[in-house]
Amino acid sequence: MKRLVDKLKTYGPAESRSRGLSISQIKWIALIFMTIDHLAAYGFEIPVFGAHFDMLRIIGRIAAPLFFFALTESVKHTRNRKRFLLRLYFGAVGTGLFVAITNLLFHDSIGRFFPSNILCDYIYTALYIILIEQIIEGIKTKQWKQSLLAIAGIAATCIPHFIAWGIYEFPYAKYGLAPETVWTIQDFAGSFVFSPLAAEYTILFVLMGILMYFAGNKYGKAAVLAGFSLFCYFGEVLGAHQWNYIGIVLGHPQYYMIFAVPFILLYNGEKGRGSKYFFYVYYPVHRYVISVVSYIYRILAGG
């Protein structure tokens, strides 16, 4: 018996002996692929990145589905879902304000930075998951009020859409505002209001994230990702990449995100260790650093 106890102490609990990748490790891998993608997207004027633009963007397709996978696991295991949603929201606000401030201060020299924000995708994916679960739970327990409130919550996400639409479609010229002033207003106001239809990877990826969550284990989630990859492939066959809005994620090279499947299958069910806030800071900062380096290179090259 003593030998058995000593052996257990040596090896530790089963969770710590699991082989594979923790959520933290998957997020770091996703961060690497995201950076590779952005080296092409924001640094294409640097010859070494511009020469391999297509390949870098293909490799970068692995990043987003891994982050969505990590998000679904976070929603599942977080102790406080309200706090988790608030952290996503304030992370998105921080990204928006970073872009707004840098555009305000440096747009005359470096140029305006497009205010894309994938955290918007994560917010609505997590929010819809939570509300759908409340609907299902309310139906199962016959708590109809809970289900109705959750349905109302989903419907209420139309409100930020119309507010965001108003911010960008307001007739500023009627009041004699200069374009630079309009852009600044839109940047700062848009940092706080996010439309579900403004998701960077469109509402299709939000749907993919929701289906991944309800698919259950990693095998189901990998199957959902494979299905969406196949959908994107046929999107190219059908010429769907020319469609407005959802066309931006259909076709080449988006279907290469299927190469994220092996990483998902390596998930060992553990959270792992990692910084909770590093990714929120890294996301806007690294894009801008790449853009600045690209701008400096262009100036030095006489562009």
Which residues in the chain land under pLDDT 50? 1-17
User: Is 13 within the bounds of a domain?
Assistant: no
Q: For residue 200, which phi and psi values (nearest 5 degrees)? A: -60, -40
Provide the pLDDT for residue 193: 95
Residue of 76, 68, 84, 73 lying closest to 249 (CA atoms)? 68
State the pTM of this model. 0.90
User: Is 256 within the bounds of a domain?
Assistant: yes
189 close to 100: Cβ distance less than 8 angstroms: no
pLDDT tens by residue, 239-249: 766 666 677 78
Buried b / exposed e over 214-227, threshold 16 CB at 10 Å, is ebeebeebbbbbee
The domain in which residue 167 lies consists of: 19-300
User: Is 143 within the bounds of a domain?
Assistant: yes
Residue 153 host element (H or E): helix 144-156
List 267's β-bridge partners, or say none: 21
User: Is 98 within the bounds of a domain?
Assistant: yes
User: Is 25 within the bounds of a domain?
Assistant: yes
Residue of 96, 147, 162 lying closest to 123 (CA atoms)? 96
**250: CB partners within 8 A, 6+ apart:** 204, 231, 232, 235, 236, 240, 241, 243
User: Is 5 within the bounds of a domain?
Assistant: no
289 close to 98: Cβ distance less than 8 angstroms: no
Provide the pLDDT for residue 8: 35
- Number of domains present in the structure of the chain: 1
pLDDT tens by residue, 105-158: 887 667 777 768 999 999 999 999 999 999 999 999 999 999 999 999 999 999
Residue with tokens 């205010």: 115
User: Is 208 within the bounds of a domain?
Assistant: yes
User: Is 2 within the bounds of a domain?
Assistant: no
